[in-house]
A and B are shown apart, each in its own frame.
Chain A
Amino acid sequence: MGAALGTGDKKSVNVELNIVPFIDLMSCLTAFLLVTAVWVNIAQLDLKPKGKSRDPSQIKEDEEKVVLSVLIQPDKIWLVQSRIGEQQAIDRTGNPADYWGQFEASLADLKKSAFFIDRSDLELAAESISEEQKVVYQDLIWAMDIAKKTGFSDIGLTDRDGLTAKPTL
């Protein structure tokens, strides 16, 4: 980088840096970084499709333990526990933050129970009825997000018929 020593006066000791190359470099770097910048923070949620290569011992084990099944419908969210037959329905009316908040509280309570305190598995299914009454992908993601948040990290996605415990009206 060039520097001008003095300004004509022999006694002057002022040094003025030439900042033009610095500005050039900064401009190039800014242009490059703006082009390559990642503006959206993309991440992932992982899950395992339920039902693959399940050996008989695994199925028997599933039958012996209580399985938590979550079914999302356009108007309700069901939490059903197999074997003991307990079920809870959350109405999907009003503010989504309210009913998803209820869902989170229910899952957190279940996680503290003796059946699930040392387990992290959960079954998840969604059931759309028609084009007008459908469950959208965002609902599934929120359910998975909340399940992971409450400690159910091993999520198996299936359809309504694949659930171990289905809600009964």
Chain B
Amino acid sequence: MPVRAPGPRLFHFSTKLKHISAVVHAHGKASNIALNLTPFVDMMTILVTFLLMVFSASGEILRAHQGLEMPTAAQQAKLQQAPIIIVTETQISVLIQDPDSAMPVMKDVAVVQSILENPPPTLKIDALHEILKATYDSIHNDVESGNDKHIGKDELAACSREQEGLPPILDELGHVKHWCPDGLAIVQADKKTDARIISMIVNTARQAGFDKLLFAIKYSGEGPR
């Protein structure tokens, strides 16, 4: 395409729009229309700058679920990939990332209402324990064998430090940089969940081997209101 002098294009060169041109010319009006693109470019530049600033390349760890509104807190630290115990208003589920598959596996465990009506005497949810135990064994074996295909190098290094009895490495804000995935799980629960359910989940996770729990929160600079 030849380089042409800039100027109005409508009805003449690339965008002929013959049917509109006929109507416009029929009224004897000038057909040249020059749009001012400057505010558009300004707005796009600001939008791109803002979106680049909030862009996260680390990937999505938590997903939104129906009937789950996360609690807010002012203290915060970065999340890490780990099995997720999800508690919505009605259901308890587990989301496990299969290292050999791109898609995580979601397993429904129990109904909240039935657990509250018939609480297990030992505070252990058997179906949850079964899944968590199998997951713990799989992760534990990977850590023991140093399987760097399933577990990142930073996480394996954190496990070595843990085994040597050394404290974890902290970032500049004083938060743990990398957790050892052995015994690490995330709890993502609805903010209105009964504390009895949380107690049962914590107890079940502990019995399955998960002794480091991360509670997913929505960051808010304000405290309780």
Please give the residue numbers on chain A whose beta carbons come within 8 Å of chain B beta carbons, in ascending order: 2-4, 6-8, 16, 18-19, 22-23, 26-27, 29-30, 33-34, 36-38, 40-49, 51-53, 72, 96-97, 100, 125-128, 131, 134-142, 144-146, 148-149, 157-159
Contact = CB atoms under 8 A, between A and B. Distances in A.
Given A6-B5, A23-B37, A139-B195, A149 B75 contact: yes
Contact of A46 (B3, B37, B195, B215): B215
A19 B41 contact: yes
B217 A18 contact: no
A138 B192 contact: yes
Interface stretch (B22-30, B66-74, B140-148): B66-74
Given A18-B6, A42-B62, A43-B79, A141 B217 contact: yes
A51 to B, nearest CB: 7
Q: How large is the interface on B (under 10, 10 to 19, 20 to 34, 35 or more residues)?
A: 35 or more
Interface stretch (B95-103, B129-137, B158-166, B201-209): B201-209
B213 to A, nearest CB: 6
Interface string B70-107: 11111111110000000100000000000000000000
Contact of A142 (B52, B60, B223): B223
B48 A145 contact: no
A137 B45 contact: no
A45 B75 CA distance: 7
A155 to B, nearest CB: 10
B17 to A, nearest CB: 18
Given A126-B195, A138-B71, A42 B79 contact: yes
B48 A136 contact: no
Contact of B195 (A29, A51, A137): A137
Contact of A19 (B37, B73, B78, B190): B37
Nearest to A142: B224
Contacts of B219: 41-43
A152 B143 CA distance: 30
Interface of B: 3-7, 37, 40-41, 44-45, 47-48, 51-52, 54-56, 60-62, 70-79, 87, 116, 123, 176, 186, 189-196, 198-199, 202-203, 205-206, 210-219, 223-225
Contact of B215 (A34, A45, A125): A45
Given A126-B196, A146-B223, 15 more contacts: A2-B3, A7-B6, A16-B5, A26-B41, A30-B44, A37-B55, A43-B79, A44-B186, A45-B215, A46-B213, A127-B195, A136-B191, A137-B195, A142-B71, A159-B123
Contact of B40 (A16, A23, A136, A138): A23
B56 A38 contact: yes
A93 B192 CA distance: 18
Contact of A22 (B7, B41, B77): B41
Contact of B3 (A4, A96, A146): A4
Contacts of A126: 195-196, 198-199
Q: Which 7 A-B pairs have the closest CB atoms?
A: A43-B76, A33-B51, A126-B195, A49-B206, A100-B224, A44-B214, A138-B191
Contacts of B211: 48-49, 52-53
A75 to B, nearest CB: 14
Given A22-B41, A37-B51, A141 B202 contact: no
B14 to A, nearest CB: 10
A128 B200 CA distance: 13
